[in-house]
Chain A
Amino acid sequence: MAGQTVAEKIISAHAGKRVYANEVAIVRVDGAMATDATAPLAIQAFRQMGGKRLWDAQRVALVLDHATPAPNERVANLHRLMRDFAQETGCHFYDVGAGICHQLMVENAHVKPGDLFLGADSHTPTYGAVNALSCGVGSTDLAAAMLTGKTWLKVPQTLKVVLNGTLPAGISAKDVILRVIKETTISGATYMAVEFTGEAVVPMSLASRMVLANMVAEMGAKCANVDATGLTLPYDWEPVFADADATYARVITLDVSDLRPMVAVPHAPDNVVPIEQVRGITVHQAFIGSCTNARLEDLHEAARILRGRQVARGVRLMIAPASHAVFMQAVKDGTVETLTQAGAFFVTSGCGVCVGTHQGVPSDGDVVISSTNRNFKGRMGNPNAQIYLSSPAVVAASALCGVITDPQDVL
């Protein structure tokens, strides 16, 4: 029998038969998640399908994160609709302020290695960091999964990204993934699974692995997997490895030993340049947040740069921790104090700033440096703003200096 990629293995285990790339399979799912951006439509579709009971309430989670706290009565009523639905069906429910959906799914072990998970959000591939096969779907697909516990999938081809070498000090997983996206472009992995492997991955924390898996969405991929070698999780688990003779659609090999900080310039996440090319550009708003980079190690990185210093005049440095739990850890270890003293301010754990629903909308002509994953025109709520994407370290260094700055220059 021909060898299998991780995606082929996990899908086979859920299809009840051995499948390979390009085959179509009906599979059972282990979990389903939707947010306030997608759940109201999903609930409506679920009811239209005649749904009364969830296929398994313990395997469904609803999260309020995209527009939280509610900016107006319309959204507040959608939140109410979700609260009522959660109460009625008994599914898991995360209310305003609990955190960003993807962080919560991993943090609270709703998704585990080997699982097949559907999320009604495009950054659901993030759980490839824990060896799960997780795909983003729309509301109607999610409604169907909530009803039947199943979905249909086309088994993806796999792009393998081999990361060799050792990351230089101060260079992060975000720089790696931006470099990879520069290579693949925004459509280079459309419909594909992306496997990250190689010696540079082994020492990476779970948080860093989540950064890699998160941004496969910016290559058009369906799902991700980060090689489990070196991964530790707070529960018993079995890693899923690809077979040595698995078939790959494409292999990209990069040595990260000389990697420099990378920045995606407006208006696409694949417009990636090394920091030298954008150094010195004036910034007005700096943001550390999102499901890409708002975990404890990201806040620590920012604190390392800003400790005992002050954010430049004319720059607003906003931070939205990935979850309430992350925020609490940062409160306890003094990171919140360090950053607040430096002039940063904290907003609700959630998506608002990243997706531009409310909070921190930039003005016309504003330049934003952000640790998020998308800089499409209008992404943060204003099509006349310029959004640059980078690591939290570059965001912090740029906030400190008021211009896009290489962290190395201020440490």
Chain B
Amino acid sequence: MQGKAHAYPVDNIDTDRIIAGKYTKTLDFSQLAAHCLEDLDPTFSQKVQAGDLLVAGENFGCGSSREQAPVALKAAGVAAVIARSFARIFYRNAINIGLPVLEVPDHTIQDGDQLSIDFENGIITNLTRQESYAATRLPSVMLKILQAGGLTAYLTEHGDYPSE
């Protein structure tokens, strides 16, 4: 996967800022996309293009359990999220809906950098800066779910959880 980074080097970006509670009561995902990250960067939904990558600081996605947060990012076109660390429910939710999340504690990605991601090996290459960074490995259960395209796809196919 290859894409352009939208970097917000901020810690603790909570789910209220990813998608405010007042917009979440809908099953219309285009509405979620339109208001995605609005309180952090009002221009985000106009700037972002399908296949772009979101880059953030520590504890990304803290706060409520709303699955609309990763859904909003995915619907807005974000192809993967890279953060120094994630809040746990957001992390699970993202994988469950098939939005790849990469925990990369150490990196120097800047806004606008062109990145290439190797999921198999958890390596991110910064094509703009000629650098590469290592992502924390996913437990095998999560990897299987992500590879299937999410938990819904996994269960539709297999009918039960992967054995450990």
Contact = CB atoms under 8 A, between A and B. Distances in A.
A43 B163 CA distance: 25
Interface centre among A191, A222, A376, A381 (most CB of B within 10 A): A376
A186 B70 CA distance: 20
Interface centre among B70, B161, B162 (most CB of A within 10 A): B161
B25 A24 contact: no
A215 to B, nearest CB: 13
Contacts of B127: none
B21 A355 contact: yes
The contact size tier of chain A is 35 or more
A144 B141 CA distance: 14
Given A138-B67, A186-B59, A376-B16, A78 B156 contact: no
Interface string A13-37: 0000000000011100000000011
Nearest to B27: A40
B66 interface: yes
A151 B154 CA distance: 13
Given A121-B65, A356-B21, A48 B152 contact: yes
The main secondary structure of chain B at its interface with chain A is: loop
A150 B65 CA distance: 19
The contact size tier of chain B is 35 or more
B21 A220 contact: no
Contact of A122 (B11, B89, B139): B89
B21 A136 contact: no
Given A37-B66, A140-B93, A49 B155 contact: yes
Contact of B87 (A220, A355, A378): A220
Interface string A36-55: 11101100110011100000
A148 B161 contact: yes
Interface in B11-39: 11-12, 14, 16-17, 20-22, 24-27, 39
A120 B65 contact: yes
A49 B152 contact: yes
B120 interface: no
B82 to A, nearest CB: 17
Interface of A: 24-26, 36-38, 40-41, 44-45, 48-50, 66-67, 74-75, 78, 120-122, 124, 136-141, 143-144, 147-148, 150-152, 154, 186-187, 190-191, 220, 222, 268, 355-358, 374, 376-379, 381, 383
Given A37-B66, A187-B87, A376-B16, 5 more contacts: A24-B139, A26-B141, A138-B92, A140-B93, A377-B39
23 contacts: A25-B164, A26-B161, A37-B21, A40-B27, A49-B155, A74-B26, A136-B65, A137-B93, A139-B93, A140-B97, A140-B150, A144-B96, A147-B155, A152-B161, A187-B62, A187-B85, A220-B88, A222-B88, A268-B12, A356-B21, A356-B22, A374-B64, A381-B20
